[in-house]
Amino acid sequence: MDQEATERRVERWIGRILRFGVWASAGLMVAGLVAAWISDGALRIPKENPPATEVLRQLLAGSLEPTTLIFGGLILLMLTPLLRVLTAAAGFIVEKDHKFTLVSFVIFLMLVGELAYSLR
């Protein structure tokens, strides 16, 4: 019964993380689009998409430029599945399920490795 209660709690937490990720990212995208419309009076699509490293630099600097806000939403959306995998791993640790803790960390490390390699 304890095992089932723990599983239920883990599943609820994963659901919450997913919901938060989706709605927070949608909120940032909407904020960015509204800000772009207000500041420019139009949505001007840049001729070239900004480099990923430049976007990250601006995000870390706390820029509130419309494009940065939108990218912030998109990056949060991309990170939501990673957070989900990490939450599942935490759940498996609590359940003392070592096999699936390992599986979860393998997936997490693959995703982080791919992220780091892409942005090198």
Place of tokens 């390699």: 117
> Among residue numbers 4 through 33, which ones bind other proteins (CB under 8 A)?
7-8, 10-12, 14-16, 18-19, 21-22, 25-26, 29-30, 32-33
# residues contacting other proteins (CB under 8 A): 55
> Among residue numbers 29 through 68, which ones bind other proteins (CB under 8 A)?
29-30, 32-33, 36, 42-46, 48-52, 67
Other CB atoms within 10 Å distance of the CB of residue 41: 8
Q: Which of 57, 64, 78, 94 binds other proteins (CB under 8 A)?
A: 78
In the complex, least distance from residue 94 CB atom to other proteins, rounded to whole angstroms: 13
**Is 86 an interacting residue with respect to other proteins (CB under 8 A)?**
no
User: What secondary structure, in 3-state letters, does the chain show?
Assistant: CHHHHHHHHHHHHHHHHHHHHHHHHHHHHHHHHHHHHHHHCCCCCCCCCCCHHHHHHHHHCCCCCHHHHHHHHHHHHHHHHHHHHHHHHHHHHHCCCHHHHHHHHHHHHHHHHHHHHHCC
Please say whether the beta carbons of 55 and 71 come within 8 A.
Answer: yes
Residue ranges that bind other proteins, judged by CB under 8 A: 7-8, 10-12, 14-16, 18-19, 21-22, 25-26, 29-30, 32-33, 36, 42-46, 48-52, 67, 70-71, 73-75, 77-82, 84-85, 88, 100, 103-104, 106-107, 110-111, 114-115, 118-119
